[in-house]
Amino acid sequence: MDVFEKCHRYTDAKQVMAAGLYPYFQPIRSAQDPEVVVDGRRMIMVGSNNYLGLTSHPRIKEASIRAVERYGTGCAGSRFLNGTMDLHHEVEAQLAKFKKKEAALLFAAGYQTNLGVISALVSKDDVSIIDRWNHASIIDGCRLAFGQTLKYRHNDMEDLERILASQPDKGKLIVVDGVFSMEGDIVKLPEIVRLARKYGARVMVDDAHATGVLGKEGRGTAEHFGLEDEVDIVMGTCSKALASVGGFIASSHEVIHYVKHQARSMMFSASLPPACVATIGAAVEVIEQEPERRTQLWKNAQRMQEGLKEMGFDIGLSETPIVPVVIGDDQRAFLLGRALYEQAIFANVSVSPAVPEGRALIRTSYMATHTDAHIDRVLEGFRTVGRELGVI
């Protein structure tokens, strides 16, 4: 068989395109602000992970510009060889301090971070234990590891304990999202930490959607629960509240040293460019110095949660600025997404495999920089299309 035969047989996306409902790869012709320009018109953006609105912050843009002027546009090699600059070390120290860990390590992407860290740590005599609703990067990191992978039901601590108890002679790494990216609910970290102690497991928390968002100081899930000394590895992405791109882990000196010399996705990838690294450092400073952004973010999230529920929408398990509207059927989700688009509201349509089969949803997420007028307009748009399509 021709290896390209599968390409010719793949028609799923083309069918959605033919129906005029295809919502993906839309070119945006402006910054990731509360309003964006798409197809020559202004739309309210409720599909971005720019939670604190920092991608257009003047101080952060200036830090990026200064880094290009000093270091150029790229590092022209991997961190392992010629691609480590003093700026990388400075920002890694900053991230470690922010996350209250001994050391940190930057990767070129959040996806690469989970691939590299999990595959490096989980060897043939070990087991990864993960939530079934974890992000794809965690699942793929487990696939690359030589150890076994076991999944427990979403946020089900009895099922987690059953699995832990069944592996008495294995090294065990529990890997979990702090905030689940589709439903917007928070991991049951206190119970996970208790079970990890009981059964001799280590805990790695993916704080992609929690960094800058959860906790009094924005340090993430562990701070939110007062468990910063109990989590072994904190992973984070830099493309959300940190307004850049890349990923990192924060942990002990020994773990960072080992991963630095074993994580193939870091060792064999080009280094994160200077402008991106400088942006991350500046974003951490703003998170620490402007807590009012987080206050406004949560105010906006609460208004949307309450407003959508009052109309009769199913917002799933949301307890963060990620607020899904659960539709169930893929076709209806595409129809609702298109109707919102026509209302000049940019939201994300999520269908399987991004969500479980039969749980298609419109994923919305909010920024500190959304105004009351933006929130009012989005709520009214949802009310209009929800009634038109019989969702409410």
Task: With cut-offs at 50, 70 and 90, classify the pLDDT of residue 320.
Answer: very high
CA distance 246 to 241: 12
Decide if 4 is inside a domain: no
312, 360: one domain:
yes
Q: Report the share of the chain in percent with pLDDT over 90.
A: 99
CA distance 225 to 188: 9
Decide if 2 is inside a domain: no
28, 68: one domain:
no
Please provide the DSSP assignment of 156-174 as one string: -HHHHHHHHHT-TTSEEEE
* Catalytic residue chosen out of the listed positions 240, 244, 265, 350: 240
Is residue 382 scored above 90 in pLDDT?
Answer: yes
Regarding pTM above 0.75, the answer is yes
- Give, to the nearest 10 degrees, the angle between helix 189-199 and helix 157-165: 10
Q: For the residues 110-127, what does the mean pLDDT come to? A: 98
∠ CA 380-323-296, rounded to 5°: 80
Is residue 1 scored above 90 in pLDDT?
Answer: no
Q: For the residues 37-54, what does the mean pLDDT come to? A: 97
Domain endpoint, select from 261, 289, 317: 289
CA distance 54 to 287: 9
Catalytic (active site) residue 260 = no
129, 172: one domain:
yes
Cα distances (Å, whole numbers) of residue 386 to 158, 319, 365, 380: 37, 22, 18, 10
Tokens for 308, please give them. 């959508």
The CATH number given to whatever domain includes residue 35 is 3.90.1150.10
125, 196: one domain:
yes
Q: For the residues 299-315, what does the mean pLDDT come to? A: 98
State the virtual CA torsion across 62, 63, 67, 68 in degrees, nearest 10: -30
* Catalytic residue chosen out of the listed positions 181, 239, 350, 365: 181
67, 166: one domain:
yes
240, 341: one domain:
no
Question: What does pLDDT average to over the chain?
Answer: 97
71, 119: one domain:
yes
Q: Report the share of the chain in percent with pLDDT over 70.
A: 100
Q: For the residues 232-247, what does the mean pLDDT come to? A: 98
Q: In a 10 Å sphere around its CB, with 0-12 CB exposed, 13-18 middle and 19+ buried, how is residue 22 labelled? A: middle
3-state secondary structure of 384: helix
Please provide the DSSP assignment of 78-94 as one string: BTTTT---HHHHHHHHH
State the virtual CA torsion across 213, 219, 225, 231 in degrees, nearest 10: 130
Do the strands 126-131 and 171-177 form a parallel or antiparallel pair, or are they unpaired? Answer: parallel
Residue with tokens 């510009």, as numbered in its chain: 65
* Catalytic residue chosen out of the listed positions 209, 224, 370, 374: 209
Domain endpoint, select from 255, 289, 323: 289
Interior/surface letters 162-176, b for 16+ CB within 10 angstroms, e for the rest? ebbeebeebbbbbbb
Q: What is the pLDDT of residue 377?
A: 98
383, 332: one domain:
yes
pLDDT tens for 162-190 read 999 999 999 999 999 999 999 999 999 99
76, 122: one domain:
yes
Amino acid at 351: V
User: H or E element: which one contains 262?
Assistant: helix 253-262
Q: What is the pLDDT of residue 263?
A: 98
223, 141: one domain:
yes
Q: For the residues 73-98, what does the mean pLDDT come to? A: 97
Is residue 325 scored above 90 in pLDDT?
Answer: yes
Q: What is the pLDDT of residue 329?
A: 94
What stretches of 122-217 show up as alpha helix (H) in DSSP?
136-144, 157-165, 189-199
Q: For the residues 262-278, what does the mean pLDDT come to? A: 97
Strand order in the sheet with 126-131: 103-107, 247-251, 233-237, 202-206, 171-177, 126-131, 148-152
pLDDT tens for 345-371 read 999 999 998 999 999 999 999 999 999
334, 364: one domain:
yes
The CATH number given to whatever domain includes residue 257 is 3.40.640.10
168, 145: one domain:
yes
Interior/surface letters 297-320, b for 16+ CB within 10 angstroms, e for the rest? beebbebbbebbeeeebebbbbbb
37 lies in which domain range?
A: 12-45+291-388
pLDDT tens for 19-33 read 999 999 999 999 999
Is residue 99 scored above 90 in pLDDT?
Answer: yes
Q: For the residues 287-305, what does the mean pLDDT come to? A: 98
Decide if 295 is inside a domain: yes
Is residue 341 scored above 90 in pLDDT?
Answer: yes
Decide if 21 is inside a domain: yes
Q: What is the pLDDT of residue 342?
A: 97
Is residue 288 scored above 90 in pLDDT?
Answer: yes
Catalytic (active site) residue 309 = no
Decide if 52 is inside a domain: no
Catalytic (active site) residue 352 = no
Our count of domains for the chain comes to 2
Domain endpoint, select from 289, 313, 332: 289
